[in-house]
Chain A
Amino acid sequence: MTPSAVVTGIGVTAPNGLGTKDYWAATLDGTSGIGRLTRFDPSGYPAQLAGEVPGFVAKEHLPSRLLPQTDHMTRLALVTADWALADAGVKPDQLDGYDMSVVTASSAGGFEFGERELQALWSKGSKYVSAYQSFAWFYAVNTGQISIRNGMQGPSAALVSDHAGGLDAIGQARRQIRKGTPLAVTGGVDGSLSSYGWISHLSSGQISTATDPDRAYLPFDASASGYVPGEGGALFVLEDEAAARQRGAEIYGRIAGYASTFDPRPGTGRPPALKRAITLALDDAGVTPGDVDVVFADAVAVPELDRQEADAINEVFGPRGVPVTAPKTMTGRLYAGAAPLDVAAALLAIRDSVLPPTVHSDPYPDYQLDLVTGTRGGPVRTALVVARGHGGFNSAVVVRSAR
């Protein structure tokens, strides 16, 4: 029988809360972390709002030797991993290194670090480029640093597929557990809130230029006009269920299903592949649409993409057939960290029997979605998390209660 993979630890660094407890309290309370950018002066840019992680002082959490060699998002990731391991009650130094994998997602690597070194190179010369540039920027950096910090030597990887990558990482971690590695740290913590990162975001043409934080990111609303970028994300301790139960670990839930598809080349006239990703993930989990208690939407807040997502959800679940929510309206979209944060929210929703809200959006009736606009009670046993990436990436994960 295929081993089941369960989440036993959660770590969160989010724009509306540093740590799982603060994030979840803020999320259920409808408190948003979106505000004017402070990392650099955004006044010259058409968009000026972002979700920055508040109150994070790296040196309070990490040894000083790690600071010069790490980008901001890697520091967040290292601390998030520490918290996930502590939450799971796992002490990595007491385990065999080969029994622990690290699989994380990235979108653009340690981009702020890379930008600084590009500036050093082009404004001063090659001798001014940091000795750490060779590994502080590349996409594998968080996986490598988490592996080193925790002595994790099992099969590990970094996956990149824009906002969808976080689910692909969780899918790959589950694959390694099924193949025999008892434990994996997985998910994504991301961020590229630097000047070059910002103009890169802007070039997607999908960034909201609104100035009122409460009106900036309105997925599934008639006035949706783009999203707000953010930083942070979530990492998990994923374990083989039998091993987790044997050590008496508390289990948040099971990664019961995963699937990923790619859209047809534009212009072929073939339908987008999001619905197929959802259906395959439900099949993989062995559940029917009727079993699903809530969908955590990708929620880009670009009308055409909202329409596509609403259509896919409705084709699977029927019009207003399932509660749909986007707590990322309180954090902005976190790139590789976005979907893992939704998986964290889904697991906490299962634990607390509550559906977190989508804030500020007034659901556009044409989409025929049952959008959760205020915190809602009710048993949650099964949640679907959906994520898409630029170019046509679609991924879906089914999270189920393990009780």
Chain B
Amino acid sequence: MSRREVAITGIGVISPGGIGVPDFWRLLTEGRTATRLVTHFDPAPFRSRIAAEADFDPAAFGLGPQEIRRMDRAAQFGVVTAREAVTGSGLDMSTVDPGRVAVSVGSAIGASVGLEEEYRAASDDGRLDLLDENYAAKHLYNYFVPSSIVAEVAWAVGAEGHAAMISDGCTSGVDAVGYGCDLIREGSADIVIAGGTDAPITPITLACFDAIKATTPRNDDPEHASRPFDASRNGFVLGEGAAMFVLEEVEHARGRGAHIHAIVSGFAGRCNAYHMTGLKADGREMAEAIRVAMAEARVNPEDIDYINAHGSGTKQNDRHETAAFKRSLGDQAYRIPVSSIKSMIGHSLGAIGAIEVAASVLALEHDVLPPTANLHTPDPECDLDYIPVTAREQDTDTVLTVASGFGGFQSAMVLTAPGKDHA
């Protein structure tokens, strides 16, 4: 019996500078950046005052006042992108068994916007050691346990199969897509609404990255602050957003004549077991994840047309990742174009892995590779083809996307154009 394959038949994206798939893709291919000084609150007290913010109005997407109150920003992103994905897939949910529809949502920090707001209210801005429950929202529990985000997505699409939140730090988004693929392949579901969402542009999150100097202090030049692989980079730029997909068993998709954007042909994750935030320079575990994902997809380094990098713009990441590509792809690493869309939309923690899957799928479909913005003088230790500044047209059938996260998580996914898979 041939194995069950997974098709992507719907995509939804909320990104800084790009709400909805068309605007998102336009931003990336035009090489524009959405990084700016933080406007969600006054960033003056912080070392890094830059973020890539999404100009998102939940009411414009049909969320009612009660839903907006009940849902954290990350949940709102998740629901709106899930709806965009389902609508785009042409799937009529009334014709499928809801028990065969699963949900897999990645998020690194869950409902942190709501948690911080409620903390401030209930503690009188930290004055009280013992918080006063009378000042907290009735739906505080939804923020406390972030699986409420998954529940909102499941309700929005009418799913009654397995519902899961995957929280693997900054690999959560791609890991949740990988988890969804496993559910389809093993037969637990025919359709999975999968992706990632995070809304981390909050004082506590700025403060925690300030404390380890992970984010860039390039406050006088916010539009050019996210500079992966450039010699002058000095940290990442926080972002926010979500991407959700309709994952569908291939025969199910073909049976209803669905448009197949891409096949998820391989996925693997490994851990470095080294440090909660640090990376070894050798890239060994990410390389292993890439090798295993390629083996599952039955592709060789020669088959890879494009790599969507993690490319966060920290020195240790960019070197770690470059080493991982060389270790796993050999000489082919020098041939394969690589880019980091974080240069344009920042790093949205548990969402970005899924947003990068969306960018990878769009690259396959449009045969256009998004660039690495702001890359003018490459770090000499990063000596691959990182598609500087300008998008590139190129026939693209097979894409590798990778992610790396706090906790030591390293993930890799291979996406293939429909009809071009190597099975």
What is A's interface to B at a CB cutoff of 8 Å?
A: 40-41, 44-45, 69, 97-98, 102, 106-108, 111, 114-115, 117-127, 129-131, 133-135, 137-141, 143-145, 147-148, 150-162, 165, 168, 172, 175, 192, 195-204, 259-265, 270, 273, 276, 389-393
B123 touches A119 (CB 8 A): yes
B163 touches A199 (CB 8 A): no
Give the docked Cα–Cα distance between A69 and B155 (Å).
37
Q: Which of B45, B99, B150, B182 contacts A261 (CB 8 A)?
A: B99
Q: How many residues of B contact A (CB 8 A)?
A: 85
Fill in one digit per residue for B192-218: 1 if any A CB lies within 8 Å of its CB, else 0.
000000000001101111111010000
B123 touches A147 (CB 8 A): no
A157 touches B145 (CB 8 A): no
Q: Closest chain A residue to B46 by CB distance?
A: A126
Give the docked Cα–Cα distance between A273 and B269 (Å).
31
Please provide the chain B residues from 213 to 232 with a CB less than 8 Å away from any CB of chain A in the complex: 214
Q: Which of A40, A102, A124, A152 contacts B130 (CB 8 A)?
A: A40
A195 touches B210 (CB 8 A): no
Please provide the chain B residues from 171 to 207 with a CB less than 8 Å away from any CB of chain A in the complex: 172, 175, 179, 182, 186, 188, 203-204, 206-207
Total cross-chain contacts (CB, 8 A): 257
Give the docked Cα–Cα distance between A202 and B165 (Å).
23
Give the docked Cα–Cα distance between A203 and B131 (Å).
13
Most buried by A among B116, B129, B211, B406: B211
Contact partners of B164 in chain A: CB under 8 A: 159, 161, 168, 260
A160 touches B110 (CB 8 A): yes
B211 touches A200 (CB 8 A): no
Give the docked Cα–Cα distance between A46 and B163 (Å).
33
Q: Which of B151, B158, B163, B166 contacts A157 (CB 8 A)?
A: B166
A119 touches B126 (CB 8 A): yes
Contact partners of A152 in chain B: CB under 8 A: 271, 273
B98 touches A106 (CB 8 A): no
A156 touches B168 (CB 8 A): yes
8 sample A-B contacts, Cβ–Cβ < 8 Å, listed by A number: A127-B210, A140-B167, A196-B131, A198-B131, A203-B136, A264-B98, A265-B155, A391-B142
Most buried by B among A40, A135, A270: A135
Main secondary structure of the interface of A (DSSP, over half): mixed
- Say if the beta carbon of B120 comes within 8 Å of chain A: yes
Query: If the complex has contacts A138-B167, A159-B166, A390-B145, are A148 and B273 also in contact, measured as CB distance less than 8 A?
Result: yes
Chain B nearest CB: distance from A317 CB in Å? 21
A106 touches B167 (CB 8 A): yes
- Say if the beta carbon of B281 comes within 8 Å of chain A: no
B160 touches A264 (CB 8 A): yes
Q: Closest chain B residue to A148 by CB distance?
A: B273
Contact partners of B159 in chain A: CB under 8 A: 262
Fill in one digit per residue for B255-283: 1 if any A CB lies within 8 Å of its CB, else 0.
00000000000001111111111000000
Chain A nearest CB: distance from B200 CB in Å? 10
B276 touches A159 (CB 8 A): no
Contact partners of B46 in chain A: CB under 8 A: 126
- Say if the beta carbon of B154 comes within 8 Å of chain A: yes
Q: Closest chain B residue to A159 by CB distance?
A: B164
| Given A134-B406, A135-B276, A196-B123; 14 other pairs, CB 8 A cutoff | A121-B204, A129-B210, A135-B407, A147-B273, A148-B276, A153-B270, A155-B268, A158-B166, A158-B168, A160-B110, A160-B167, A198-B133, A265-B158, A391-B151
